[in-house]
Structure 1
């Protein structure tokens, strides 16, 4: 085992393979990822069963009512990908096996973003199909494509945000609390910033998600002034910047 770890030092591919092994070996991460996949589908069935949609809502918006909850779980998955190693002390073994700390974070980011994108795309697509089958015909369908690709992208961004926060905070409870705050607080506190409220409210993956799902509540005042895709790209850019800050912090400190 030691020889395998030493031999895996140099390459990104080996680092990615090692991250996958660690990811699927941690029960809490696996179960949280599974919950991320299940929640949107369960939400679509629940909304259809309760008939709780507004008349001006859409099938895609109603079906993905609980997508925000699933996105929070995606962010938690991203955070736990690295905070779990800090909690168990295996982060030192990881760094010893691959001293290139940027490579370690890049491997984790690739795994988190790729896995969450695929899971969200499949799960949210199934949720929309379930909603389309179960909701009354009076609701407009909306535009599932290409919105579903953006929705899946917002899950990947949330996971990367969690990874960045986890790398900076290094403690599971603190990282989870922080990243959920980053998802929810912009829309809650945006109205306090006067004319800037529409921009403040839009600075989270949750804002992009709400716009992409085309819900009747996704007004500019509530979730930012940009359109769905520009909002997603803005949030992705901010998340990438924070991830670079996290890589810099990891390089400077003694693990």
Structure 2
């Protein structure tokens, strides 16, 4: 009798399977869960602080004042994206992930979709709660602002910055370095913009924080500081260069060993 050899080839995991893998890893890492929670809590805490201290500028809006610390939440959202990748490099599980999903392009795609979806929900819920708290506790001496559809745009910005963090994590790989780069990308354009003279509005205006200031309608979003581009076009600009960064980072992942 001849032994029967099973020559069936197991198909490579599809995108849905890769997404399920990423969800399991995301929910299994305390660092990403706690960091995601921090992005929400700091935004809400900012609204409570501003409401209790009445520390708004006279020309600010209730929406902008309530979301004062959303810029910190935005930075944490970028850190979440970076840690989603760098956590695997630091633990040594990235090699296992790439072995389980041979089509490497699906790995960053799945990570990006997962992080973006989670941070959209986190951003929308936390910013809405922050605005409602500010609206409840601040008196009528401040302009209300236009919370809709701005809150949806702010949530989308959280999502996009998380995806940008994924791109940075794929290239840098080291948690501390990736976190440093994320914070630098978000803060340095605003910090060094004045050094560029008339170009300040273009340098600072391209930063994700500038898009956030415009969407929250804060008094800090002066055209001479962050450019005259509106909130939604600024969001589109950030989304565009984030997509390019993700494409480049995916290419780097596909070319190197791990």
> Normalising to structure 1: TM-score of the pair?
0.95
2:238 corresponds to 1:235:
yes
Among 71, 74, 80, the residue aligned to 2:74: 71
Mapped partners of 2:66, 2:12: distance in 1: 45
2:247 corresponds to 1:244:
yes
Among 14, 17, 26, the residue aligned to 2:29: 26
Counterpart residue number, 1:116 = 119
Q: Kindly provide the CA deviation profile for residues 148-194 of structure 1, in whole angstroms up to 9, marking residues without a partner as x.
A: 01100110111011110000000000000001100011111112223
Mapped partners of 2:11, 2:118: distance in 1: 22
Mapped partners of 1:115, 1:187: distance in 2: 27
SS in 1 for 2:22: helix
Mapped partners of 2:205, 2:84: distance in 1: 26
Is there any run of 5+ residues in structure 2 with no aligned partner, and where? 1-8
Q: 1:75 Cα deviation (Å)? A: 0.4
Mapped partners of 1:245, 1:222: distance in 2: 30
Mapped partners of 1:251, 1:146: distance in 2: 38
> Normalising to structure 2: TM-score of the pair?
0.94
Q: Which stretches of structure 1, 4 residues or more, deviate above 3 A after TM superposition?
A: 6-9
Contact 1:63 1:128 in 2 (8 A): yes
Which has the greater radius of gyration?
2
Distance 1:123 1:85, change over 3 A: same
- What is the number of residues matched between the two proteins? 250
Aligned pairs for 1:34-73 within 5 A: 34-73=37-76
Counterpart residue number, 1:197 = 200
Among 120, 124, 137, the residue aligned to 1:134: 137
Counterpart residue number, 1:155 = 158
Contact 1:8 1:97 in 2 (8 A): no
Contact 1:201 1:222 in 2 (8 A): yes
Counterpart residue number, 1:103 = 106
Is there any run of 5+ residues in structure 1 with no aligned partner, and where? 1-5
Distance 1:212 1:59, change over 3 A: same
Q: 1:8 Cα deviation (Å)? A: 8.1
2:226 corresponds to 1:206:
no
SS in 1 for 2:220: coil
Of 122-131 and 222-231, more deviation after overlay is shown by 222-231
TM-align CA RMSD: 1.2
Q: Kindly provide the CA deviation profile for residues 82-102 of structure 1, in whole angstroms up to 9, marking residues without a partner as x.
A: 000000000000000001111
